[in-house]
Amino acid sequence: MSSGNPRIAICVIARNEGDTIGLLLHQLAVQTLLSRGHTGDLLIVSNGSNDGTAAIAESAAAKAFENSAVRWTIHDTPEGGKARSWNLAVHELLDPACDIVIFLDADIQFRHENVLSELAARLLGDSQLIAVSGFPVKDIAKKARKTAIDWFSLKVSSQTPAPHAINGSLYAARMRELRKIWLPVPTPGEDGVLSAMIHTNGFTEPARLERIARMPEPTHYFEAHSVAGFFRHERRMTLGTTINGWIFEHLWAGKHERHVGAYIQQLNLDDPEWIDRLVAANVRGKAWALPSRMLTWRLHNLRGVGVGRALARAPFSIGATLLNIWPSVEANRLLKKRGAARYW
């Protein structure tokens, strides 16, 4: 940790977020972490955007931080992929002398003006923590009159908490640890890989879940999916979780004594197709390549909670499991096509 006040940087990785990036930057400008004289760095990385995200961000940042000490930078890269942009930000664009980096998506809405201050304070207040995740809530929670679909969606979300995992829409992490990490490119579920890297110290030791914590109260809203959007999201999450599992198996099989960050960096450089080949090896000769757990994971929250709570949860867990069948079938189909890891 640097002497004096900790150095905190904020990084937004955005792809085709021209409609939301301006609102986010104006929200950031009134966050107490930035509005009370804090001299910080703000980096916006537009990756593979074709809707003018970078230009819109530059105009909005100039207005939002006109009288601010915040140093902001817009970086526009033609190459898409959140994992690729994350590697670029951490290893080339952000100041390595930063103590903490806060990552956030461009389409979230903060619940109050102290969110980032509290996120940083939670991390700084516990030396055992490497990262702290925000607590996302669907925006339909704000609706005065909720439909039956709204209630179902919110109930299912509340039954699948992740108190020791990074949620990619908002999290803070220690820069010294992030600098050890390189994400595989492409990675369809980069926050899952990042969580695993932190838990296991780069796949060199058994997982220690306590290295990551989630904020105790909701921190931000994200847009709830439409019915069609729900199926697309479930398909992408099923693909990402499955491919991540195969990446983890590959990394553990290497029995690495050193953090795997440098190993992954070299793989990305020497063999840009390594993820595609890893996927192909795991689906070859299989009509059904998805692990069975991808169909049943929403039922796991019925275990060990007592008969009463299990009965109360069962309709939602079973309903969500049935709704996930079609996205799983589609994910299984996509896994057999080259470039499945690039699916968004």
Q: Which domains does the chain have, with CATH numbers?
A: 1-150+159-224 (3.90.550.10), 226-344 (no CATH)
Q: What is the pTM of this model?
A: 0.90
- pLDDT by residue for the chain (344 residues), tens only, comes to 444 688 999 999 999 999 999 999 999 999 999 987 666 799 999 999 999 999 999 999 999 999 888 999 999 999 889 999 999 999 999 999 999 999 999 999 999 999 999 999 999 999 999 999 999 987 667 777 777 665 666 555 665 667 899 999 999 999 999 999 999 999 888 999 999 999 999 999 999 999 999 999 999 998 866 667 677 878 888 899 999 999 999 999 999 999 999 999 999 999 999 999 999 999 999 999 998 887 876 666 667 778 777 777 677 777 777 878 888 899 899 998 877 777 65
Matching residue, tokens 């909670």 = 305
CA gap 143, 251 in Å, rounded: 44
CA-CA-CA-CA torsion sign (273, 278, 284, 286): negative
DSSP 126-189: -TT-SEEE--EEEGGGG-SS--HHHHHHHHHHHTS--TTS--TTEEEEEHHHHTT----SS-TT
The HSE-up count of residue 55 (CA atoms within 13 Å, CB side) is 4
Angle, alpha carbons 160-166-169 (nearest 5°): 90
CA distances from 107 to 13, 18, 117, 168, 169 (A): 11, 10, 19, 12, 8
DSSP lists the bridge partners of residue 41 as 9, 71
